[in-house]
Structure 1
Amino acid sequence: MQLTLSGQYDDRPAILTIHSGAGGTDSHDWVEMLVGMYAGWASSRNRPVQVLDTAYGDEAGLRTGTLEIGGQHAFGYLNAEVGVHRLVRMSPFDPARRRQTSFARVEVLPAALEESGEVDIRPDDLKMDFFRSSGPGGQNVQKVASAVRLTHLPTGLVVTCQTERSQHQNRDYAMRILRARLLALREQERAQQLSNLRGVRVSAEWGNQIRSYVLHPYKSVKDHRTDFQVGNADAVLAGEIDGFIEAYLVSKLGNDK
C-alpha cells in the first residue's frame, strides 16, 4: 500500500465534493447517503472530517455536499473514489414503490496548504457576495445573509458556502475549497495532467459509473474497475469502503507498471 501512496499530494487532506446526477429527488437523497458514507469512513478511522458546504435538493437530500477529510494519506486513499456512483433501490419517493436508478459524481481534490503560500490569492482578485442560506424546498433558513459566494476574477472560478451561521466561517470554508481548485488548475496549466488529481470529468448518468450499489432486489456493491464486490451493502454505506479503495489502488499500481 505504501507504493500506491507515493504521489505528490497523496499525504494531503482531501476535499471531497459529491454532485447529484440523473435520478431527480432520488439522486439528491443519494448524495446525502454518500456524504454519510464518507463521513462514516473518516470517523470510524479517527480521521478529522468537516462539512464545508451543502446545497439542499428541492424536496429532499442534497444537490451537492463538500467534506474535508484529514489524516494520513487522506487524498491518496480518497482519490480512488473519483467517478460516478450508481444506486439501485426501491424509491422511497415513488408512491408506487418502483425500482429507481440514480447517480452521483464524486470529485476529490488535495487541500492546498495555506501556510506554504503555494496558492496566492490577492484580495483584489476576489469578488465576495453574501446571500441567505436555503434549506429543503428552497426556503430561506436564516434571516441574516450569512452564505458566501466567492468569485476568483482571473480564472472565473466560483465557490459558494452556506453551511454555517457565521459569514466568517463560511468565508473560511469557501477559501479552503477555492485554494484546492486553484491548486488543481495550476497543475493543469503546468503539466496538463488534471486527470491525475480529480479524474476525468464525466456526466453522472448511465454507462459512466465506477461502482454500483444495489439495494433491491438483492444487496450488493460492485466496483466495475476492479470487479471487487461485497454483499453487505449496509456496511459499505456506513463507511466500510477500505476493500474498494485498496483494490483500486493496487490495480492502478499494476497498470502503471
Structure 2
Amino acid sequence: MDDLADFLRTRRARVDPGSVGIPVDSRRRVEGLRREEVAHLSGVSVDYYVRLEQGRATQPSAQVLDALARVLGLDEVESEHLHRLARRPQRPARSAHGGRVRPELLRVLDLIADGPAFIVDHRLDVAAANPLAELLYGRSMKGLNIARHIFLDADGRTLYADWDACTRDTVGQLRLAAGKYPDDPRLTSLIGELAVHSDRFRKLWARADVRSRTHGRKAYVHPLIGDLELHQENFTLPDETGTELIVLSAAPGTAAHDSLRMLASLGVTGDLRNSKTSDQRSTTDS
C-alpha cells in the first residue's frame, strides 16, 4: 500500500486550503491540507485516514474513496488510479506479450502512409512502426523504449521540442501503468533504471502524478527538416494489454504537412541516409 500512501500525501500537499474553506494565516507551516483536515472534509475519522495513508487500512469502500477524490480535487484519471491503488484486483491486469504484434495490426500500420505511426505497450516499448515514424526518429524503432529515449538518450533530449512537457507526460504514464500492472518485473526494472540514471525522472516520480494521454500537440525538432508540430492520437487496442496505436498527423496545407512530405521524399530517395553519412564524415574529419 506504499503507492497509495505516496499518492494520498502528494495529492493533499497540492490542495489550496482556501479553496476548501479553510482559513490560512502566516503561522501555518503545512503545505496543502493536514491529515485531520482531509479526514474531516471526507467524513471519515482521523485515525482511519491516518491508517489509510500509512497503508494499515485495507479495502476502503468506494464511497470513502470517492469522498477523498472529491476533497483532493482529483480528475477522472487520478480518481481511477486512487481506486486501483486502494483496491488491488485479485487478478492483475494482463500485460502485453513481449513484442508480438498481430499481422492485421502490421497491415494497419502499412495503410498509414501520410503520418508517423507506431505501436507501444504499457512500458512504452515500441513493438512496430511505419517507415515515416522511423524517418522521424532517425532509427529503427522496434525495441526502442520511448521513456529511455526521452530521459537517457542525447538525441531524445534534442528531438522533442517541449522536452519538459514530454518528461512529465512520460512519468505520469509510467505511474499509471505501475498501478495497473504492479507485478510486471520488466516495468519495475525500467522504472528503477530511469530513477538511477536520471535526476529529472527521480524528481518527477516523487510527485506521484498520473497521466493518460489520448490526443494532443506533439512538437519535434528534426535535425534535417527543423521544427515539426504534429497532432498525436492514441488509440487503445481492444486486447486489455495496455497496447496503443499512436498516429501523428498534420493538417493539409500547413507547414508541418509539407515537412512530413519532404521527410517522406528524403526517405524514398535515400537522401536522408546520405545526409546522415555526410554529417558523420564531417564530424569525423573535424
Higher strand share: 1
**TM tier relative to shorter chain:** under 0.3
- Per the normalisation by structure 1, the TM-score is 0.25
User: Which structure has the larger Rg over C-alpha atoms?
Assistant: 2
